[in-house]
Amino acid sequence: MRWFPFWLFLLGAAFPARAQDTLAVGQLRQRLRQLPADTSRVRTLNRLCYALHDLAPSQALIYGEQAVTLARQLHDDPDLMYALLYLGSCYANISEGPHALRLQQEALTIAQRLRHTDGIVRGYTAMGGIHHERDDTTSALRNYHLALQHVREPGVSVRTQLMLYGNLGGLCSYMGRATEGLNYTRQAVLLARRHGDRAGESMYVGNLGTHYLRLGRYEIAEGLLRKALTLSEASRSLRVETSQLTLLATLLLVQGQLDEAEELTQRALQRARQIDFPERVLDAYDLMANINVGRRDYEQAYRWRQSFVGLNDTLNNRSRLNTLSAMQTRYETRVKENQIRLLTQRTELQQVRNRELWAIVGTLLLGLVGVGGLTWKLRRSQQALAANHAALEQANNATRQLAASKDRLYSIVAHDLRGPVTSFVGVTELIDFYLRTGDQEGLRRLPEQVRQSAQHLNGLLDNLLNWAVSQTGELAYQPHNQPIADLLSDTIGLYRSTAEARQVSLTADAPTELLVWADAHMTRTVLRNLISNALKFTPRGGSVHLSARQLALDEVQVSVADTGAGIAQEQVDALLRPLTSPPRPAAGQARSGTGLGLPLCLSFVQRQGGQLHLDSTPGIGTTVRFTLPAGRS
């Protein structure tokens, strides 16, 4: 069996983030708050951008754009060169290749003008990496060879040399030029070893192993990969260790050593989840699926493949959101630059006018009438300037609010609608599987799954509409007196058949004379969401009970209690936070959520003057309580 993941031969294309870089991020952010707008601030922004450009490119973009803008204002060419290089790396990491190339070319031009050898080599290397990523091997090789002409000149840093040799080794291997690829990769290994860089040595020893793996020399490849894993464990670089575990598991899978391959893959999966390394989690899912295919355990392989497809969709959506965020950052940067330029022009114009006015005042000091008139004009000018500043601040606040609303909408669409659509895709795959296997019983179960997915999708769309309307302020609040028992009874009627199908007891208990002062539409939306969630997570034979009671003369409490699996307290806190992006379920939790239903319920309850609380105990159940104003006589 010959199976190789594509990333196996491109591991050397990116240099690993150093531990000290990531650990220093908090200190750098703290220091940044205290620095004035000078060259020290530019360098701190550059360090933040570089430390985050691999781990969190969207955050790094903000610091990189600020560094470029400030360096241009200060005419600080050396720091501007590095700011452009680091910012270009950020855009390359989110697949904005054309813009990244423009930034790297500008940095290279500055480096050539300054005769800065490290900047020249890094600029050519960075552009070669972008061309390689876009599969333009001719342009990539040309840029790497230009970098090689300067790599041994004084002033070129070890990190820059490692980037060049590692990238060249990966490119030559990709192009089938095995001898050159091995030569450059060995140079990277020796350089990292000579300078005590164990993480770098581990990565490039692993790359040597992938070269031999590709050549089919499995015994040599296995020895190198095991050595790389030992080095990564000694350097305590979890990201590199996770990658080496995945590489070694891949080789063992190719050799048919399924048990050890599975053990290493499970270790890699644990490490990747621990350090939030989703790309390696995705690779581990793929490996586990292929391992189970090798064992002919197709059912387990199918489950791992479903996990792979779901995470892959999430990473693709995250990539799209990062691209949108980058475009928004670039747009906001240009807007701010224009605003600063306009303010500067206005200030200069105002200063000119003020000088003219003072000159007139000095000339007409002998005439009290003239002095009074000029003073009045000066006062009017100052008031106009203050009004302009106030209007500009108001416009900035409106722009920030609009951007926040748009980001929230991107998050809702990307996270909440993907799940039901993926369910429909899964049903189509099950149909094909059952048809091929002749499983009639499985086919008979599919309509129920389609109905559940459709109901889920309908509920999501209903929540999205209600949320969007509530956020725009177009949803009118129209309260009136009504029996709470009727509201509970009407809502239970909608879900009675669903409860019976799930074999869940659905009951309600409320005094018939108990009135609430509430908006019927908002209250029914809250009850529908809470009952739907309770039924979704209550097992067969369980129960969902609704109740209402009067707490005080002016307040009524409504409760929805289930006997489901329950959720941990940290997940409860995440669900009740204001909506920014759908919360992740905690590891091992049976519950899952879109992140929209409960914030919508919370918004509607607060709109009516009430409060909402959620109490849950894992293994026992969940109770959601909310209050409404008591009915008015």
- Model confidence over 469-480: pLDDT tens digits? 666 555 678 899
Pick the CATH number of 480-584+592-629 from 3.30.565.10, 3.40.470.10, 3.40.50.11810, 3.40.30.10: 3.30.565.10
Rounded average pLDDT over 343-353: 75
Rounded average pLDDT over 481-505: 87
206 or 413, which is more confident? 206
Rounded average pLDDT over 265-278: 85
Q: Are the C-beta atoms of 506 and 515 separated by less than 8 Å?
A: no
**Of 410-419, 432-441, 517-526, 582-591, minimum mean pLDDT range:** 582-591
Res. 623 pLDDT band, cuts 50 70 90: very high
* Predicted pLDDT of residue 521: 87
Name the H helices within 53-152. Answer: 57-74, 77-93, 97-114, 117-133, 137-148
365 or 543, which is more confident? 543
Q: Are strands 480-483 and 515-518 parallel, antiparallel or unpaired?
A: antiparallel
**Of 127-136, 271-280, 500-509, minimum mean pLDDT range:** 271-280
Rounded average pLDDT over 117-132: 91
Rounded average pLDDT over 184-204: 88
Rounded average pLDDT over 86-113: 87
Res. 579 pLDDT band, cuts 50 70 90: low
**Run of H or E including 427:** helix 418-437
Q: What percent of the chain has pLDDT over 90?
A: 28
**Run of H or E including 250:** helix 238-254
Q: Which of 162, 159, 167 is nearest to 143 (CA)?
A: 167
Rounded average pLDDT over 516-523: 91
- Helix, coil or strand: residue 486: helix
- Which 3-state string (H, E, C) describes 277-307? CHHHHHHHHHHHHHHHHHCCCHHHHHHHHHH
- Which DSSP symbol is given to 113? H
Q: Which of 597, 599, 594 is nearest to 579 (CA)?
A: 599
Q: Identify the burial level of 307 via C-beta atoms within 10 angstroms of its C-beta, where 0-12 means exposed, 13-18 middle and 19 or more buried.
A: middle
- Helix, coil or strand: residue 552: strand
What's the rounded Cα separation, in Å, for the pair 578 and 599?
6
- Model confidence over 393-412: pLDDT tens digits? 887 876 776 566 556 555 55
Torsions phi, psi for 577 (to 5 deg): -75, 155
| Residue 143 predicted with pLDDT over 80 | yes
584 or 393, which is more confident? 393
Residue 166: both structure tokens together: 């590692």
In DSSP notation, 488-542 reads: HHHHHHHHHHHHHHHT-EEEEE--TT-EEEE-HHHHHHHHHHHHHHHHHTPPTT-
Name the H helices within 115-237. Answer: 117-133, 137-148, 158-174, 178-194, 198-214, 218-235
**Of 260-269, 279-288, 407-416, 599-608, minimum mean pLDDT range:** 407-416
| Residue 112 predicted with pLDDT over 90 | yes
* Predicted pLDDT of residue 430: 74
Rounded average pLDDT over 264-283: 86
Q: What percent of the chain has pLDDT over 70?
A: 78
Domain extents for the chain? 325-416, 420-472, 480-584+592-629
Res. 9 pLDDT band, cuts 50 70 90: very low
| Residue 125 predicted with pLDDT over 90 | yes
- Model confidence over 22-66: pLDDT tens digits? 557 788 888 888 889 899 999 999 888 888 877 777 788 888 899
| Mean pLDDT computed over every residue of the chain | 80
* Predicted pLDDT of residue 339: 62
| Residue 206 predicted with pLDDT over 90 | no
Rounded average pLDDT over 136-161: 91
Residue 462: both structure tokens together: 């209903």
* Predicted pLDDT of residue 265: 92
Q: What is the pTM of this model?
A: 0.47
Residue 241: both structure tokens together: 């260790």
- Model confidence over 411-451: pLDDT tens digits? 555 555 655 666 666 677 778 787 888 878 877 777 766 76
- Model confidence over 549-562: pLDDT tens digits? 998 888 999 999 99
* Predicted pLDDT of residue 456: 60
